[in-house]
């Protein structure tokens, strides 16, 4: 007992000294007066390690005394995790602390490592998100309020069915939360309840599209969507001449429309000709890698000409639509689907909007013909494809939708567009105009993403994506017009929503473009070296992506990668995450 008291007293002193040093360090990092005080030096260099060693001793004595009762010292373990895995605490000794903590885990947590290892992974992922430039257009950062709702007691409840008609008891407050989410969804997109309904239960975007198709079509009915290599999505029915890649193309007969490869824009005239020949029952107006606005009015006209439903998939652009900074599809579409975690900044989920009320007046009887979409779509979601909805996600979505109605959200979406245009301009302008001379598909952007064709640089998206990852930039390889296979993409898809959330401005994205350019240059050099090394070994396919990846490894021996990674981490680490107190 005396020993434990002594350890705890020393721990208290260590924490006080260490946190004082951390505070001084934080002030310095924020541009304040540099401190040379004893607190700062002791706090950052000495007391952190002393504190950890003391806590190790306390933990050891507690474990021995408790005879293996791990629950008695979980709080202490959490303190150790914080002090050793979060680089914001005593950054100068972070690597040493990580080494100590790894030894600690092996000594005390194995062979039952689950809670500790998962906690470590959470802290590591938080650090990765903090120090990575996230250019993936389909990713974003939610607010703390959304995260709180996701981790709430709402996830404990089963609620198969819909508000007022559940198959379980005890859903009074679950019903209220779902109704509130539906109401906010309609408000966010400026829709009248008499004209539109919404289902907020779909678990993600691809299933939401399947649910909608199943409600509108019979098996083997015809569907047209934008071809995947031209900017469409798998869930729009992608298939190759030899294989049906998406299950959608197994359930329904699918036929793609495409871009005009000279302009990089949707070829509406060709779409109209194909639709007249193919006679689809549904046309999908939606994309996953198309940087221009969709002409929904033209799509509506084409759908009317062939008697087809028009479904708008606005998964990528729903946040921009909600903020009214780009045109809305609701004026022309019969059904609208969207994910909720991309530009909308909500939890990972999806929604299906559908028309209600009067559809048209019968020219012969002069009677109103009503829309009949609500029951088929709701039945397709439950019980057709899903069981119990994820109530914590629906609750978090209600929070995000309320945030999306704020003036701050509109300002954010305006910044997303401004940043995307600055990013595209720096990448795509010719070098004599101050740009980097890359080929931007369609020549620019009207939304949140930029699609770069890397074939003129002699590299592909897979190689550049990997090098970017090693230097601390998350992007994704993507097909571009002219690619022979969707499995060998020649482009790179990048977007601005995530880093705009963290506070990046147009000038920051100019700097990001320069980072991307340096990564491409590194890739070109390494690709040449990888081919030479593979040829020297007598490899059959020395120019393959696999050969490149094996040669590159983790990039530990590449000085340019290490240097650029250091620059990126130091820079992006100065931008707050939404849930940090300084945000």
The beta strands (E) that lie in 340-397 are given as: 350-355, 358-361, 368-370
Which listed residue (46, 98, 126, 158) is catalytic?
158
CB 259 within 8 A of CB 265: yes
Which listed residue (254, 287, 337, 339) is catalytic?
339
Give counts: helices (H), strands (E), the chain.
21, 19
Show Cβ contacts of residue 559 under 8 Å, excluding neighbours closer than 6 positions: none
Q: Which of 398, 390, 394, 351 is closest to 159 using CA atoms?
A: 390
244 is catalytic: no
User: Which H or E element spans position 212?
Assistant: helix 205-216
348 is catalytic: yes
Assigned token pair, 488: 């060998």
Which listed residue (313, 446, 453, 460) is catalytic?
313
Prior bond of 268 cis (ω within 30°):
no
- For the residues of 281-308, what is the DSSP string, one character each? SEEEEE-SS--S---HHHHHHHHHHHT-
238 is catalytic: no
262 is catalytic: no
Alpha carbon 236 to its chain centroid, in Å, reads 20
Question: What distance in Å separates the CA atoms of residue 127 and residue 290, rounded to the nearest whole number?
Answer: 31
Task: Look at residue 222 and give its three-state secondary structure.
Answer: strand
User: Which H or E element spans position 166?
Assistant: strand 165-166
Give the CA dihedral 433, 438, 444, 447, nearest 10 degrees.
Answer: -120
- Among all chains, which residue has been given the structure tokens 């680490």? 573
309 is catalytic: no
Which listed residue (127, 298, 348, 455) is catalytic?
348
Which listed residue (342, 355, 421, 518) is catalytic?
342
CB 454 within 8 A of CB 460: yes
- For the residues of 33-100, what is the DSSP string, one character each? PPP--HHHHHHHHTHHHHHHHHHHHHHHHHHHHHTT-GGGGHHHHHHHHHHHH-TTSSGGGHHHHHHH
Show Cβ contacts of residue 504 under 8 Å, excluding neighbours closer than 6 positions: 419, 496, 512, 575
Task: Look at residue 377 and give its three-state secondary structure.
Answer: helix
CB atoms inside a 10 Å sphere around CB 139? 16
CB 508 within 8 A of CB 580: no
Which listed residue (61, 86, 160, 560) is catalytic?
160
Question: What distance in Å separates the CA atoms of residue 254 and residue 323, rounded to the nearest whole number?
Answer: 33
251 is catalytic: no
Return the active site residues: 158, 160, 313, 339, 342, 348
């Amino acid at each position: 007992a005396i020993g434990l008291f002594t350890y705890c007293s020393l721990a208290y002193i260590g924490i006080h000294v260490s946190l004082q040093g951390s505070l001084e360090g934080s002030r310095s990092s924020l541009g304040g007066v540099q401190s040379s005080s004893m607190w700062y030096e002791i706090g950052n260099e000495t007391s952190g390690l002393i504190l950890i060693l003391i806590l190790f001793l306390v933990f050891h004595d507690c474990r021995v005394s408790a005879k293996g009762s791990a629950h008695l010292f979980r709080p202490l373990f959490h303190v150790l995790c914080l002090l050793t895995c979060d680089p914001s605490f005593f950054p100068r000794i972070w690597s040493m602390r990580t080494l100590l903590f790894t030894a600690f885990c092996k000594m005390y947590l194995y062979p039952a490592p689950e809670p500790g290892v998962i906690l470590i992974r959470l802290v590591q992922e938080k650090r990765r998100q903090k120090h990575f430039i996230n250019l993936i257009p389909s990713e974003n950062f939610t607010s703390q309020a959304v995260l709180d709702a996701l981790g709430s007691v709402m996830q404990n409840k089963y609620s198969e069915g819909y508000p007022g008609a559940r198959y379980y008891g005890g859903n009074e407050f679950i019903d209220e939360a779902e109704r509130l989410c539906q109401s906010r969804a309609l408000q966010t997109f400026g829709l009248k309840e008499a004209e539109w309904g919404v289902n907020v239960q779909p678990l993600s975007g691809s299933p939401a599209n399947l649910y909608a198709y199943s409600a509108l079509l019979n098996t083997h009915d015809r569907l047209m969507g934008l071809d995947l290599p031209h900017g469409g999505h798998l869930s729009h029915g992608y298939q190759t001449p030899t294989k049906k890649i998406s299950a959608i193309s197994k359930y329904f007969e699918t036929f793609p429309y495409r871009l005009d490869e000279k302009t990089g824009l949707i070829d509406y005239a060709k779409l109209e000709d194909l639709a007249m020949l193919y006679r689809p029952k549904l046309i999908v107006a939606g994309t996953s890698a198309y940087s221009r606005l969709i002409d929904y009015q033209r799509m509506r006209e084409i759908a009317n000409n062939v008697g087809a439903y028009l479904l708008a998939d606005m998964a990528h652009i729903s946040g921009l639509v909600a903020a009214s900074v780009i045109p809305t599809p609701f004026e022309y579409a019969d059904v609208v689907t969207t994910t909720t975690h991309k530009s909308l900044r909500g939890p990972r989920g999806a929604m299906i909007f559908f028309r209600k009320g009067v559809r048209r007046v019968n020219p012969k009887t002069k009677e109103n013909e009503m829309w009949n979409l609500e029951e088929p779509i709701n039945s397709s979601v439950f019980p057709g494809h899903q069981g119990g909805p994820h109530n914590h996600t629906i609750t978090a979505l209600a929070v995000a939708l309320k945030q999306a109605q704020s003036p701050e959200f509109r300002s954010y979406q305006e910044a997303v567009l401004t940043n995307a245009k600055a990013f595209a301009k720096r990448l795509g302008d010719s070098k004599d105009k101050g740009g980097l001379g890359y080929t931007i598909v369609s020549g620019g952007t009207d939304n949140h993403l930029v699609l770069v064709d890397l074939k003129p640089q002699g590299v592909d998206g897979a190689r550049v994506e990997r090098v970017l990852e090693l230097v601390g930039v998350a992007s994704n390889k993507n097909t571009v017009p002219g690619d022979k296979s969707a499995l060998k993409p020649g482009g790179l898809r990048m977007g601005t929503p995530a880093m705009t959330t963290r506070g990046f401005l147009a000038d920051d994205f100019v700097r990001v473009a320069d980072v991307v350019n340096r990564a491409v240059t590194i890739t070109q050099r390494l690709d040449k070296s990888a081919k030479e090394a593979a040829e020297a070994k007598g490899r059959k396919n020395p120019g393959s992506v696999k050969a490149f990846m094996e040669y590159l490894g983790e990039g530990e021996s590449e000085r340019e990668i290490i240097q650029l990674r250091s620059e990126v981490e130091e820079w992006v680490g100065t931008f707050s995450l939404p849930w940090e107190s300084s945000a």
